[in-house]
Structure 1
């Protein structure tokens, strides 16, 4: 059984399968159009799931990620794109914490729970300062992250669940076995994950990891944005539609500019 991180190897390939059909790609294309963005920086660009469609829609996009396997997946996908899309993309291997490319952008995005991947003390605030550092005057920063569902977390603590997905290319079955544990004092979630790819009863691949994520609440994210020198001018409870950020929301989405 291969041991690896959640963004490496088989897990990097599974990332696109897991996140298919969320609707956030179309939303970010719409937000880029609304911002009239001639230049976009995606922090935590991963497999290019959002970056490549943005480029295909005509935007110039720079993506930054630190995972070799996620970047390799992105470049592999880019190779299948037409030159008009490839020419509008740049992918850089770097840690987004304390990043300084010496460039400024019309739109900076940190999508799909990137904030939760930062578990070290001060890393989340450093990410927000990175975003501000790369904004042009008048530029827009968009951050989206899930809101912790405390009832669900309490009820699922230590409970193993299994999900099945069809591989979109091979038609094989991907089985995702997932066991979360929550540390409510330190706001950390530790997930034990086993992935298997099966063709009938035959196991083709198997990989296992234990990874830790942080979880944040809207009040503290607002405070971090303010501390980082970012002024929130719009917030909503879903990345795909402008619903209120209230007790019924599953996500928190913040639109901010330099204060």
Structure 2
């Protein structure tokens, strides 16, 4: 069984996330707080490469060899001017040591939900703090848990179909999520299948994963316990609006 960031799933990652609209927001944040940027969990370069294209010096850290390899393949297709701006390092977020500090450090797209215990997240964030310049800024964005939706999908298989953008093959993504609401844990079982035009099965893979989820008050306290000063927050990546009952995401800006 593969992991969610290896093999077939690494290839599928870019397809699954193709509709996200967060890249432009992070380019704008880099224009405001850059130019030296560190991305936590840079994966296949979905955000890292556009930042490099925009002229920022960007370092990405990730713990998945397959994700890093895919990022390097994508970077190889870019001009030298872009490649020279990007650095990718295999590191653990809780104990990475890069020997430099950054103007801006970002943790996009629910990256923090990989830290199942608050203590582990605090350890990681204290390390992040050590890599910020004195005037540097840390930005994280996480989805706000939608409890009614989570109750509705609990233990229900969800099936989605995609077309592979390069080959035109059909991809079927099956996911069953089980929630432990008392401990804020999310257990996912995922099966991915690829079919040709006459429905012959070409590839399949499966993985299980455990994630957590955080609420705004928790993350505010965790940031404070990690040594950060929260100086701004908003309920959307794309507009400066308060975090309220209608918000689906939380974006925190800290020093």
Q: TM-score range by the shorter chain?
A: over 0.9
Which of the numbers 3, 6, 15 marks the counterpart of 1:5? 3
Which of the numbers 167, 170, 174 marks the counterpart of 1:177? 174
Quote how far apart the aligned CAs of 1:17 are: 0.9
Question: Tell me, which stretches of 5 or more residues in structure 2 are unaligned?
Answer: none
Quote how far apart the aligned CAs of 1:244 are: 2.1
Please identify, of 213-222 and 126-135, the stretch whose mean Cα deviation from structure 2 is larger.
Answer: 126-135
Which of the numbers 119, 124, 138 marks the counterpart of 2:121? 124
Contact 2:103 2:136 in 1 (8 A): yes
1:198-237 map, 5 Å: 198-200=195-197, 201-237=199-235
Contact 1:157 1:182 in 2 (8 A): yes
Equivalence for 1:146? 143
Equivalence for 2:187? 190
In structure 1, what is the Cα distance between the partners aligned to 2:88 and 2:165? 25
Quote how far apart the aligned CAs of 1:120 are: 4.1
Please identify, of 86-95 and 163-172, the stretch whose mean Cα deviation from structure 2 is larger.
Answer: 163-172
Equivalence for 2:25? 27
1:152-180 CA-to-partner distances (Å, cap 9, x unmatched) read 11111100010111111111111110100
Contact 1:65 1:71 in 2 (8 A): yes
In structure 2, what is the Cα distance between the partners aligned to 1:160 and 1:21? 22
CA RMSD of aligned residues (A): 1.1
After superposition, the Cα gap between the structure-2 partners of 1:203 and 1:242, relative to the gap in structure 1 and judged at 3 Å, is farther
Equivalence for 2:99? 102
SS in 2 for 1:230: coil
* TM value normalised by structure 2: 0.97
SS in 1 for 2:219: helix
Equivalence for 1:239? 237
Equivalence for 2:13? 15
* TM value normalised by structure 1: 0.95
In structure 2, what is the Cα distance between the partners aligned to 1:86 and 1:191? 35
